[in-house]
Structure 1
Amino acid sequence: MYLQTSKYQVLSMIGQGSAHQVFKAEHNLTQKLFAIKMEKSPKLGQIEGEIKVLKELNGIEGVPNLIHHGITPENKCFLIMPLLNCSLRDLVKSQQLSLSCILAIGLSLIETLENVHKKNILHLDIKPENIMISQKIQKNSKDQLLKPGFIQLIDFGLSQTLGNSKFLKNVFIGSLNFASRASHKGEQLGYKDDLESLFYVLVYLRNCNLPWSQKPSMGFKNMDIKFIGEMKTSIFNTMTLCQKFPLEFSKFMSYINELKHYQMPDYSLIKEMFIKMLQTTSFSPIMDQFLNNSPIQSINQLGNSETMQLPIDKHLLNNNSIETQIQDDIIDIEAKVVHLSDLIGKYTTVQIKSIQTLNIDYDYNFSNQ
């Protein structure tokens, strides 16, 4: 594989999706490791769109820096980012995370989403595979989990700006397990849909599954989308998803339900909810200090007397951990669902089709699987 630049040597492939591949590469001068994300076929459009989004989000903690980008001699678009340690999916394959760790991860991601949404950008594909740990976690992980930028939100290939009605309506966007109810219905999407996907991620981390994740495929993508969407709608606003969380978590769920798609969430309120949950699980109740400062900074100011340990497999957390999961990642448990999202990537924003039109592509691809 040849890039526009000779500064990097490609070492190995560490993952792939339906439309892209991810490689580990080494800088020839510094010997530092990086990740190269590249289209499988020329001019698919998703990576080109992701490059534009990453430029817009430059400098936001919790979003990877765009190191370099370009086009290969084969006209495949690529981008280069820092090499991160492992995803949340990798972590839960090893051991279940503690409640305190899950809430800390949630608080960090809410901080990141607030800054992303202030740019009027929606992620639209929040799931455990797209949430990364930037480096190896130490035994006393509280400071690390709450440190700005330690939790990284990746893969902005489906991201769009708010109000892009041609793209954000009449199309299912995201992965089946973690997409919002509105996405299942083909409704207009907005800020609340990212929060709803994050809500499902936290429930998944707590329970190691979701009520609809083990349901058998109907064999037809539209039926799957409708069936799982109806399950989410029937369960949302019940205590089914909140049983293993403090009371404030159900308030978070109710708040998401009350938001309009165009309404900017009250992030101060949401962060206060998570701070209260963290207080009840592992932290001292110093509410005034939390409310007067940045929540993440305030929690870290509590000192080392309050620790939060993350039970993990040390073998999993190294620079090669993603490679050890390559066979699982190539055939992802949500591959059939992500496939439809990748069909969307074949069109530019102005060319985007309705879900009915996309079915033509889907039926062709499904019949050839």
Structure 2
Amino acid sequence: MSALFNNYARRPIHIVKGSGTTVIDDKGKSYLDFTSGIAVLSLGHSHPVIVNAIQEQSEKLMHISNLFESPEQEQLAQSLIEGTHFAHAFFCNSGAEANEAAIKLARKHTSKSTIITFEQSFHGRTFGAMSATGQDKVKSGFGPLLQTFKTLPFNDSHALEEAVDDSVAAIMLEIIQGEGGVNEITPEFAATISCLCKEKGILLIVDEIQTGIGRTGTKYAYEQTILQPDILTLAKGLGGGFPIGAMIGTAKLYESFGPGSHGTTFGGNPLAMAVASATIGQVFNKQFLEDVKKKSVFLVSKLCEILPENQFELRGKGLLLGIKCKEEVASIIQQAEENGLLLVQAGSNVIRLLPPLTVTEEEMEQAVSILSSLVLTAQYK
């Protein structure tokens, strides 16, 4: 029996090395990694910029705690808010922590307790973030959760308008629901949210744990909508493989997070700051973001060539794409792995593609070639 708890349904391969989009297991087999550690490895595996940042910073200072000033945090915060309407940042260690901070800040600032979230959302597995998540399978077995969340159908303006009352502190959502099926917000729903938040004085929390840091072709996915969040949460791609989370917010929220209101032992440590700064130094480059958009167009065009019309639905933006199938996709993902392509599900019937933002056209063609025979076989089996 393993010395580990059995809370992960692990795949039976042991990855020991990676470079760019390619990883190698302990038997020497190579795979194209179109999971990126679930949207984490913005620059791929073992990118020299990240490797150098870890090495150089680890030789100087790894941890000092938030008892002391941190110019490194100031620098990264400035880089994240530059060119946006945001003014301040808080650093932690994960997306769930970032969402916990956002929930606390929204409730403290408004002195209200209700937060509206949406079905098929995923905000994390800590208690508050789990309560916010709109998927029963995540919550099963844990007893009563926080009762101050209202979970509504996604992209349903009427349901949202009916649910809003004077108790609502914030609306919390993902621009694209990654875990929930690669479900994208509609322009009409975004407009409804924008109007309600302005009219009712409701805060808007946008969870960009998976969509942020260039994943959809812009710094943040909300920039491709009408929405102007009060709070934005980040993680995954921000560290390019190193654990870090962040919450950024507007100037009006500053006084609500004073000394002692929230904290973290490891959040904002010098090593995380160095790696994240190195990562966004690459990703936030204008040409890099344009290249992500071009790669998305290329990958989408190749996928459209192989997906039979009316049999599959292509979803998502940038390099967060989903292929909705009529049947469950677990067997396709397993077969893809056997053929040297690592993929991840988004619900039971959606194949999620999350290559590193540095993926090449040749690698995308190789991945599509592997997928081609598998989806066609699945269609006609």
Do they fold alike, i.e. is TM over 0.5? no
TM-score by length of 1: 0.26
Q: Which of the pair has the greater relative contact order for Cα pairs under 8 Å at 6+ separation?
A: 2
Question: Hey, which of these two has a bigger chunk of strand by percent?
Answer: 2
TM-score by length of 2: 0.25
